[in-house]
Amino acid sequence: MKKELLKNFLTYVKIDTMSDEESTQTPSTQKQFDLANILVEELKQLGLKDIYLSENCFVYATLPSNIKGNKESIGFIAHMDTIPGFSGTNVKPNVIENYNGKTIPLNGIELNPKQFPFLKDLKGKTLITTDGTTVLGADDKAGIAIIMTMLWHYVTTNEPHVEIHVAFTPDEEIGSGIEHFDLTKFPCSYAYTMDGGNPQMINYENFNAASAVVQFHGLDIHPGTAKNQMKNASEIAIEFHQMLPKEQKPEYTDHYEGFIHLTHMEGIVGEAKLCYILRDHDRALLEKKKNLLKEATNFINKKYGKDTASLQLKDSYFNMAEIIKENPECLKRAQKAMESLNITPMASPIRGGTDGARLTFMGLPTPNLGTGGYNCHGPYEFACLEEMETLTKICIEIAK
Ligand SMILES: [Zn+2]
């Protein structure tokens, strides 16, 4: 199994699938089809049914159950794209067998156990690193390799399993792909995204998220004659920002603490603009954060006149926990699969969103499992083959 897994993984990471956040199309880059087409071919060779590649670059396929009368149906999902911020072109994976626990040099940078202490726990394992010049793309090609190897296992052994649906999706990294997911091509009770870290992790809590844009309208007058007349929009924007609680910034928060994060500012005397993102695991606390912005806007308008500040709030995504807790079978099934392999499941809240969170709100409960990939989104990214193997076994157990 390990050999198949490594072969799959090395094939996928060498294909450039970088997404592009500037694009308004799905997929954001045509090269994501390069991987999609390979996966379609491999799924055909494995003999899967209902293989479908959509014009938005979603791959769907089904492995029907080989148990007579079994009606269960479970899905597995991984994304094909890599992060736009760092090169995914010409990836040269570096396979290190029996890792000695020491620093790994990579073309001018290094994977140092002092900087990444968890490397020590991986001594003796097989690591796959970058050459220091690109991402590896273990996020999320490790997820794809795990799913494909699980399918290969069931097709080659014919061990009994439930109906398995798989989907490979574009543009997860830019957060815009999943709205094109076609649930009619993915008829299962629940699914798992394979897009996390170590094998014990189950993620089913993520942020509730909203964004805010505050526009300030000033009155631009020659500064020489401005007394008692000028309304400097930039000054008012600064005053607005200072009213927000300082401790609720990302740099001062962790675990379950939410934040209000200033992502962009611009201003002249006549006009100014502040952009924020708001995050909280607790939906009531997210509403409180929205109210803080509303109150600050009202204060500014009372002080400087009606319509000086205008606030636009928009919800982005919600915490899937509220739905998963009402549909706990997907969690129980993953926990049981781990326990049967002597792995103690651990839940950890995601300080971000997932495609699974959006799918959950579209009606398909979808917690997230690990991939054995680490340090994603940069040249320090690497994967541990034995952990990928463990995750493949977890998927096999889940589908059993
Ligand atoms: Zn990912």
Render pLDDT for 8-32 as a digit per residue (tens, 0 to 9): 999 999 999 999 989 999 999 999 9
Q: How many CB atoms lie within 10 A of CB 331?
A: 18
Q: What is the pLDDT of residue 100?
A: 95
Lookup result for tokens 């308004």: 24
Q: Are residues 79 and 137 in the same domain?
A: yes
Q: What is the pLDDT of residue 85?
A: 82
* Residue where a domain stops, chosen among 284, 317, 350: 317
Catalytic residue check, 282:
no
Mutual orientation of helices 385-399 and 138-157 as an angle, nearest 10°? 50
Range of the domain at 246: 208-317
Distances (CA, A) of 157 to 63, 129, 152, 325, 397: 13, 31, 8, 35, 14
Domain count across the chain: 2
Q: What is the pLDDT of residue 348?
A: 87
Q: Are residues 296 and 368 in the same domain?
A: no
* Residue where a domain stops, chosen among 295, 317, 339: 317
Q: Are residues 229 and 126 in the same domain?
A: no
Q: Are residues 131 and 233 in the same domain?
A: no
pTM of the model: 0.89
Q: What is the pLDDT of residue 50?
A: 98
- Which CATH number goes with the domain that contains 178? 3.40.630.10
Catalytic residue check, 172:
yes
Q: How far is the CA of 86 from the centre of ligand 1 (A)?
A: 14
How far apart (Å, rounded) are the C-alpha atoms in residues 111 and 113? Answer: 7
Enumerate residue ranges in the chain where pLDDT < 70.
none
* Residue where a domain stops, chosen among 293, 317, 341: 317
Q: How far is the CA of 171 from the centre of ligand 1 (A)?
A: 10
Q: How far is the CA of 229 from the centre of ligand 1 (A)?
A: 52
Q: How far is the CA of 273 from the centre of ligand 1 (A)?
A: 32
Task: Give the start-end residues of each E strand in 145-303.
Answer: 163-169, 190-196, 201-203, 208-217, 259-267, 271-280
The one catalytic residue in 16, 140, 172, 195 is: 172
